[in-house]
Amino acid sequence: MAAGGKKLRNRMADDAMISTMKTDMGGSGSWESGYALITGASSGIGEAFARALARRGQALILSARSEEKLHSLATELRQGGCEVEVCAADLAHADGAFSLRRRVEEKGWGVSLLINNAGFGSGGDFASLALEDELAMIQLNISSLVELTHWQLQRLRANGGNGQGAGRSGGSQPRGAIINVASVAGFQPVPYMATYASTKAFVLNFSWALWRENRDEGVHVMALCPGTTRTNFFQRAGIQERHFFSLTPEAVVDLCLRGLKRQQPVVITGWANRLSVASQRLARRNWVVNAAAGFVREATLDKTAGVK
């Protein structure tokens, strides 16, 4: 207990130190005026975000576990004239988010757009899955996301977000923005992906609540809820990939950025996913759970977890 308490005190002291550092938030511009910090940027939706924002000329900070993949992507994007920084971090580790934000603070990179995209899932009967993988999933999908979101909100609001009038749809563009990647799985319980769906339900409701708390503070918070997307997520989660009604990562990102421009609190990608979410509200809960159980159990290949 003594060692743990000392570690906590040291971290709190470091936290207090970096929070006093000056950071340029890009003047009085919008969320496009500073850096976009993207977690899980080495592949899939995160990589698609990086490419889309690079085409718009936004400076980027790319983060993921694989530093090699990040540098490869950064080199390619820099050839197109984009300013790109790389900051590898393992957000499934308890100190991962702290290490990432400390590096950003020390470098003085003013982040106006945070995209919490890093996450992973697992498929199988919960009691048969490795507990350490499920706890790592909660750390990555929830705890690190909460820590980075809290950090970014404090920075944005301390640097002029307050009173800038992010407001409701149709108002001026917000000074800063946060995109938390949830999932359509977050709208319902999903047997055989129980932990994953529950973490995404948290992200969805957390983001919706923060949208309301910050909509008059010059900061826009939104949840992105993709359905089946053509990434390696299902393979790594040990689940058979289903391609019907699936979207490319590029299409998901395009819909998300359109929604961000309109200051939507939640973006559900694809008409089939929107229809599915709407129909769940009309059906009995046990019917929805049983249908999800049959679909996922059939698609489960093994009991391994995968990280993107």
- Domain map of the chain by residue range? 29-307
- The candidate with the shortest Cα–Cα distance to 132, out of 90, 183, 92, 91, is 92
Contact 299, 222 (CB under 8 A): no
Q: What is the pLDDT of residue 298?
A: 65
CB atoms within 10 A of CB 180: 28
CB atoms within 10 A of CB 45: 28
Banded model confidence at residue 283, pLDDT cuts 50, 70, 90: confident
Give the whole-number percent of the chain exceeding pLDDT 90: 61
pLDDT at 71 over 80: yes
Separation of CA 174 from chain center = 19
Give the residue, 163 or 274, on which the prediction is more confident.
Answer: 274
Compute the average pLDDT of residues 123-151.
96
Residues marked active site are found at 196
Taking the model in full, what pTM does it have? 0.82
Domain 29-307: state its class: alpha beta
CA pair distance 162, 83, nearest whole angstrom: 28
